[in-house]
Structure 1
Amino acid sequence: MQSRCLYPLILFACIMMLTACSPFEPAARPDAPGELPDGYSLYSVEARSPLPWWDEMGSPELNRLIDVALTDNFSLSESWSRLQQARAAAVQAGAGLYPELEAFGSAETTRKDTAGGSSGSVGNQSYELGLTASYEIDLWGRVRSQREAALLDVKATEADLHAAAVSLAAEVALRWVQILSQRLQKQLLEKQLSSNSTFLELIELRFRKAMVSALDVYQQKQVVENVRAKIPLVEAEIQLLMHELAVLLGRPPKSNLKLNQKTMPTIGQLPPLGLPADLLAARPDVRAAGMRLQAADWQLAEARANRLPALRVGAGAQYGPEELDLLFDTWLLSLAANLTAPIFDAGRRAAEVDRIQATVDENLWAYRRVVLTAVKEVEDALEREIRQREHIEALKAVMTAAQRGFEEALARYRRGLSDYLPVLTQLIAVQDLERDMIEQREALVRYRIGLYRVLGGSWAGMSDTNSIDRSPEVAGQG
């Protein structure tokens, strides 16, 4: 009896030793492709702030908008659902590492009438209880490879979620900045309309005194109406941007978003950038590409192991009322094992290995492309912001010259030394430059938001997804 009780322990030890064999486990890959540059054209060695980048904008209004978007945005909720799907798939993939146990039972009652008997009928009752168990011994690591690939898919989906949050925060900030810019444009147009109307009144007064021609009146009136015609377009753009922002926040288009800020945010110096290698951890899209490459490696290991024999063990026991006292002696007798090996499948399994090998190559090239694209995007963002600052400084000089030219042309016109055309030309130039300055300052803020976006980071505030381990909740203990 004691020796028979040792059989399960011996069998379990053999299974564990066989399962430890994983000849197709993928080899480790380097953390980064060798084409990464040593540094950016401009970078600092200071550590990046752990706080959200939008705090640097100094706007409580923007903070509130992004917090709402990260909570209520529909697209982000879709990404959360995809993450839950990946987690469930990982649980399914890891289930093969454990035995499958099923119980069954049946009960039957029969009653037979006796012909001419005094008792009337004879009854009979029976029941059965049983257990069946099955388990695949993971000889070549097929099931383990399947689980590892599923876990990496979970982490890749988590990185996709972070990437969606990064993009969402940037999109909210961009819409908010554009709304501010359009509101400033409207204020400027209203101010220009007022000043141009004042000039028109003065010219009409001079015309009534026969000091100027009707052409001067018509030219100035054209300037007034041109500015007036721009205001409805700006108002429409404000409303369209408000609608887009409301949808990003998970709100109906006509919702009151309570946007009260009147000035464009002021951005400081360039933030600490670190090194290009830092993007491998900071950029969620890079992390996702790396995880999918590793998952493809494990899928290849699974396909190779699937070409080899599979060993499955099973146990079953069935008991009636008189057999319950033999429960622990009987189950060993029903233990069985079967070995299945592929002999001919017309090349299906070999073709699957070739297909997944090509998938691995595809993911490898995709990973390299994503990494180099990330470095390029940082360099592009740096170049845009640096050149934009230079452009704004040059535009200020142009503005100063145009303003002085307008003042001089107006003085000459008032003294009768020139007609109204030089005044009109300079007036239009100054007002165009004023509107352009607002656009260029908006572009500078947008470029800074773009820089924060391409630098990535784990600031999205989703700590729930920062540590997905191989717990029983996900795919069974490793």
Structure 2
Amino acid sequence: MMQNIWSITGRSIAVSSLALALAACQSMRGPEPVVKSDIPTDFSVQHSTGKSIAEQGYKDFFSSPQLVQVIDLALKNNRDMRTAILNIQKAEAQYNITENNRLPTLGSSVGFDRARSKSALTGQPVTGNVYSAGLAVTSYELDFWGRLESLKDAALDNYLSLQSTRDATQISLISQVAEAWLQYSYSNANLKLAEDTLKTQIQAYNLNKKRFDVGIDSEVPLRQAQISVETARADVGNYRTQVAQAQNALNLLVGQSVPTDLLPSNTIRSITNEKVFATGLSSDLLNNRPDIQQSAYTLSAAGANIGAAKAQLFPTISLTSSAGFGSSELSDLFKSGSFVWSVAPSLNLPIFDWGTRKANVKISKVNQEIALTSYEKTIQTAFKEVSDALATRANIDERLDAQRDLVSATNRTYQLSTARYRAGIDGYLTVLTAQKDAYTAEQSLLGLELTNLNNQIELYKTLGGGVKVYNTDQVYHQPSSSETEYSKK
């Protein structure tokens, strides 16, 4: 009869405790902070507000099949990408641990105790054995105040944050690879320009040497021509170095040596088939930029940590239980009547801890304010980056037209100066000045053409382009714990 009473009581305690835990578990994270990024409602520079180019997959945005293949190699082999993926795997394991912490831990045990004690009947010391075998639930915390739930939410947000970090790393890597690929192309273009200039200067030097040898000119024009030759030789060496360095930089980004057939053999004049670089709405940045998503998840995790810190202010109830067999004789261990069980709830009530728990709540609130400030700064930075790219885009065509006209004018001046020198009308210094102006103008044109292409890549990147592979791909952002909590209310 007594055994039945205890059995009923034990079940009642277990069932009641579980029901109370499920009913009482609640989040104590508090209201989410209001975000005040203080950015304009639209970009300050005139632009096309059609569907954002960030909605395009990188294989549809970039027009060169060679470049797309190089990007694919980089996404596969780049070490920063590998690190980002490994961090996601680590965060996933950590989230699984916090999820498991909310569940009872079940273990098995087999034990043997030998003890000496005084007999209650005879008063004489006796030695006895106790054999046991069974299952046990160790220290299962009843999550009344949502501490474990909050820790799980924070771990989930950290996991999602690292996924966004991985996407941001991909966007950055794609743009860096495209820019390095272009840099290799234009380093070769500058090298070719320098080599052509060196040939021209050698021809001019030979002409001046003949004029000097026959006594038409003094030695001054000859030495001036020699200076131009040596200057051109130095430029050739410099650009050969830049070509090698550009290839090294590209190899580092890709994570392996880029095959020769994937390197640009000619000067790249177009990086994309796009003619209109639409930005969409400024609010689209919140959805398209992974770094903004990452900051949002971090802010949400900070709110969850506040809930966990607040829960520490309240009593913690843990439950330890076991069930199995026990006997003083090993042969009787599994016989009828040897079944034993125990339930041991414990209460940890904070009374006085010198303000440690309250300080932890304050720290978690300050961390939330830091995360909020970082989130707002990320939004402002994203807006500024897009505006800067648009500012360059707004004037680049006019600058290119002006530079092309300048190249044409300086080349014509060089031709006229050379003809007048050979006719004996002007001195060689006029030719040198005209040649230097023409060379500098062509270098500047190459630099401006590279700036134009890099700006197209930069605009695509700053708008959040590069997460998708193809236009038809769909990008889904999993809601943070704060968004999930809000939807429950």
TM-score normalized by the length of structure 1: 0.85
Question: Equivalent residues in 2 for 1:415-454 (5 A)?
Answer: 415-454=423-462
* One-letter amino acid matched to 1:138: D
Q: Are residue 67 (structure 1) and residue 72 (structure 2) matched? A: yes
Deviation at 1:414, TM superposition (A): 3.0
CA distance in 2 between partners of 1:92 and 1:345 (Å)? 28
CA distance in 1 between partners of 2:185 and 2:269 (Å)? 9
Per-residue CA deviation, residues 344-390 of structure 1 (Å, 9 max, x unaligned), is: 11111111111111111111111111111110111011112333333
Greater alpha carbon shift after TM alignment, 258-267 vs 186-195 = 258-267
Aligned to 1:399: 407
Question: Equivalent residues in 2 for 1:182-221 (5 A)?
Answer: 182-221=187-226
Aligned to 2:120: none
* One-letter amino acid matched to 2:312: N
2:254 to 240, 249, 252: 249
CA distance in 2 between partners of 1:469 and 1:356 (Å)? 22
CA distance in 2 between partners of 1:465 and 1:26 (Å)? 30
Is residue 186–residue 231 contact of structure 1 (8 Å, CA) maintained in 2? yes
Change (3 A) 1:425 1:231: same
* One-letter amino acid matched to 1:363: A
CA distance in 1 between partners of 2:286 and 2:218 (Å)? 70
Question: Equivalent residues in 2 for 1:5-404 (5 A)?
Answer: 7=12, 8-19=14-25, 21-22=26-27, 24-29=28-33, 33=36, 35-40=38-43, 41-48=45-52, 50-53=55-58, 55-106=60-111, 127-133=131-137, 134-251=139-256, 258-267=262-271, 268-320=274-326, 321=332, 325=336, 331=341, 334-404=342-412
Is residue 200–residue 221 contact of structure 1 (8 Å, CA) maintained in 2? yes
Per-residue CA deviation, residues 25-72 of structure 1 (Å, 9 max, x unaligned), is: 332455x53523222123333223544346433212211111111111
Deviation at 1:466, TM superposition (A): 6.0
* One-letter amino acid matched to 1:238: V
Is residue 296–residue 375 contact of structure 2 (8 Å, CA) maintained in 1? yes
Change (3 A) 1:279 1:325: farther
Is residue 32–residue 303 contact of structure 2 (8 Å, CA) maintained in 1? no
Moved over 4 A (4+): 8-11, 124-127, 254-258, 321-327, 460-470
TM-score normalized by the length of structure 2: 0.83
Aligned to 1:120: none
Deviation at 1:417, TM superposition (A): 2.1
CA distance in 2 between partners of 1:340 and 1:255 (Å)? 65
Per-residue CA deviation, residues 237-267 of structure 1 (Å, 9 max, x unaligned), is: 2112222221222226x98685243121415
Structure 1: runs of 5 or more not aligned:
110-123, 471-477
SS at match of 1:261: coil
Change (3 A) 1:336 1:457: farther
Greater alpha carbon shift after TM alignment, 52-61 vs 368-377 = 52-61
SS at match of 1:307: coil
Greater alpha carbon shift after TM alignment, 91-100 vs 194-203 = 194-203
CA distance in 2 between partners of 1:306 and 1:126 (Å)? 39
Is residue 319–residue 343 contact of structure 2 (8 Å, CA) maintained in 1? yes
Deviation at 1:126, TM superposition (A): 8.2
SS at match of 2:101: helix
* One-letter amino acid matched to 1:42: Q
Per-residue CA deviation, residues 301-351 of structure 1 (Å, 9 max, x unaligned), is: 110111111112221123044566569x854xx223222110011111111
CA distance in 2 between partners of 1:257 and 1:245 (Å)? 14
* One-letter amino acid matched to 1:290: A
How big is the alpha-carbon RMSD for the aligned residues of Structure 1 and Structure 2?
A: 3.1
Deviation at 1:440, TM superposition (A): 1.7
Per-residue CA deviation, residues 202-259 of structure 1 (Å, 9 max, x unaligned), is: 333344444333322221222122111211111112112222221222226x986852
Per-residue CA deviation, residues 61-116 of structure 1 (Å, 9 max, x unaligned), is: 2111111111111121111121122112111222222112111124799xxxxxxx
CA distance in 2 between partners of 1:261 and 1:51 (Å)? 27
Is residue 318–residue 347 contact of structure 2 (8 Å, CA) maintained in 1? yes
CA distance in 1 between partners of 2:335 and 2:29 (Å)? 45
SS at match of 1:97: coil
Change (3 A) 1:350 1:260: same
Change (3 A) 1:45 1:450: closer
Change (3 A) 1:317 1:467: farther
Aligned residues: 450
Is residue 36–residue 277 contact of structure 1 (8 Å, CA) maintained in 2? no
Aligned to 2:485: none
Deviation at 1:151, TM superposition (A): 0.4
CA distance in 1 between partners of 2:371 and 2:361 (Å)? 15
CA distance in 1 between partners of 2:449 and 2:248 (Å)? 23
Q: Which has the higher contact order (CA 8 A, sep 6+)?
A: 2
Change (3 A) 1:304 1:257: farther
Greater alpha carbon shift after TM alignment, 1-10 vs 416-425 = 1-10
CA distance in 1 between partners of 2:361 and 2:130 (Å)? 52
* One-letter amino acid matched to 2:374: A
Structure 2: runs of 5 or more not aligned:
115-127, 327-331, 481-487
CA distance in 2 between partners of 1:400 and 1:11 (Å)? 88
Change (3 A) 1:100 1:137: same
CA distance in 2 between partners of 1:441 and 1:129 (Å)? 80
CA distance in 2 between partners of 1:188 and 1:247 (Å)? 27
* One-letter amino acid matched to 1:390: E
Greater alpha carbon shift after TM alignment, 205-214 vs 364-373 = 205-214
SS at match of 1:335: strand
